[in-house]
Amino acid sequence: MKKEPDPVHATRRRFIAGSAAALGLAGTTVAVTALAGEGRAKPAARPEPRRPNVIVVLADDLGYGELGSYGQDLILTPRLDELAAEGLRFTSAYAAAPVCAPSRCSMLTGLHVGHAAVRTNPLGGPQGSLGDEDTTFAELLRDQGYRTACIGKWGFGPEEPDQPSHPNNRGFDEFYGYIGHHHAHDFHPAALWENGRRVPVPGNVAGRRGTYAPDLFRDRALEFIQDQADRQQRARRPDEGQDSGTGSGAGATERPFLLYFAPNVPHAPSRRLEQAGYASRPWTKANKGHAAQVSHLDTTVGAMVDLLRARGIADDTVILVTSDNGPHEEGRVDPARFDAASSLRGVKRNLYEGGIRVPLLAWGPGRVAAGTETSRQTPLTDVLPTLTELAGARTPDHVDGLSLAGLVGGVHAPGDHRHLYWYRNDPFATPTSQAADGGRGLQTCEAVRRGDWKAVRFAPGRDRTVPDHRWDVELYNLRDDPGERHDVAAEHPETVARLVNLMHGSWTEPEPLRA
């Protein structure tokens, strides 16, 4: 029997067809010009500003307080701090989940974790997958003519080339990195995926650990940017012949690019070969390695910016830098050493602010106002509609995100979310996350923020369908208590009831896990 389409998810092929039909309206802005001697106006077409190249940098377990621009004073992040000074800093940005797989799925598809295809990390079985009914921002931009690449950690679907969840089938022309969630925990892998094939990593055989995967990701990202800059410059030269099929030369259409750069730093294990800049610090080896991994991310983004400027395309590029969840403490890393969550409660795996509030920087010379910041409550589900608006693409009607293009491009003020929703069902906990949860780290947990109010509730076990009276519910006013130290649920029962109702309304039953 043919399965009926899920009304929550737009049918991808139908949506893409609609986008293509609308494309003719997306590339032109109409101006009204008065004609001499005539008492009427005539529409005159003028070119729309060039669509920007986009680089989305998603760090792995980077805490809210681990950049200098967010108060860090032990780990050195000068290049990312420059981006903050030259761009827009978000002070209330949120990962979609407190662990990586559901957070990444929500960012890619614009659906929060109550609606998305992947809602947990692997629970002892196959990892979650994306399928044809899911639409990523890469698919939408590629259908608008963008060249697209995913470099680093993917984290969905089986370790196979020809399957719906593979990055090449989810909108990325080029892929280099890890398909699997657990494979990405190996910083010196014997092989990585390059599109549909596994390729050996030089130096990482027979127990030797000579090649550090984040170095490979950095180099591949720079190669991709260099190649795209060359293509764009060739397309702008009127004196060169057209190279049919390559998009370069006179008469060719200049194509922008999308780079989704997702390195596995600073995730555990905290190994950095030279522990750059931190070898003499009186810290544990794990803490030195962790700091070096954060600095590796910093220098990599700096190298991207330097290349964009050198190739003359910085003014045509927007960069977003963020993290998939709060800071970790695996591999003996001590997040308290670095105030990795700033003054917020919790770490990775907690639905308190420290587990889900993340840094978010937006940079784009000439597009993003320098030295600005916003306290707008901004979940990473906003990335998809932001990119589609910047690219002139149609945004699917069903997404939970709202476009930030007005902030990034200075066109209009973005809308505010009615509320934000999170869900956690994870089989692991660490001492710090357990302490923050009051020993309830292995219990299912939900949270909602609406305005200044935030409710966090814990089921008695792993079953989220138990009646409401069996959940423990806490309420915090984040304006007065950003560290979530004072539970005021008993004083505001009506507010608690409203937020719990929002939790119910935010959840749709997921389809069976797609292996």
Q: What are phi and psi of 192, to 5 degrees?
A: -130, 165
Question: How far is it, in rounded angstroms, from Cα 430 to Cα 347?
Answer: 9
Find the largest Cα–Cα distance for the chain.
83
pTM of structure: 0.89
Exposed, middle or buried, 241 (CB in 10 Å: 0-12/13-18/19+)?
exposed
Summarize pLDDT for 368-422 with one digit per residue, the tens.
Answer: 999 999 999 999 999 999 999 999 999 999 999 999 998 876 666 788 999 999 9
Question: How far is it, in rounded angstroms, from Cα 339 to Cα 71?
Answer: 9
Q: What is the DSSP letter of 468?
A: G
Question: How far is it, in rounded angstroms, from Cα 111 to Cα 96?
Answer: 9
Choose among 270, 263, 264: nearest CA to 289: 270
Determine contact, residues 12/135, Cβ cutoff 8 Å. Answer: yes
Choose among 109, 136, 61: nearest CA to 359: 61
Question: How far is it, in rounded angstroms, from Cα 474 to Cα 458?
Answer: 9
Tokens at residue 233, please? 């410059």
Residues of the chain whose pLDDT is less than 70?
Answer: 1-49, 206-208, 238-252, 272-275, 409-412, 512-515
**pLDDT score recorded for residue 125:** 79
What is the chain's Cα-based Rg? Answer: 23
Residue corresponding to tokens 């305005």: 451
Summarize pLDDT for 299-330 with one digit per residue, the tens.
Answer: 999 999 999 999 999 999 999 999 999 999 99
Question: How far is it, in rounded angstroms, from Cα 364 to Cα 368?
Answer: 5
**pLDDT score recorded for residue 47:** 45
Question: How far is it, in rounded angstroms, from Cα 266 to Cα 268?
Answer: 7
**pLDDT score recorded for residue 31:** 27
Residue corresponding to tokens 């990892």: 127
Question: How far is it, in rounded angstroms, from Cα 77 to Cα 62?
Answer: 12
Tokens at residue 10, please? 């737009």
Helix (H) or strand (E) holding 477: strand 472-477
Distance from first CA to last CA of the chain, Å, rounded? Answer: 21
Determine contact, residues 15/135, Cβ cutoff 8 Å. Answer: yes
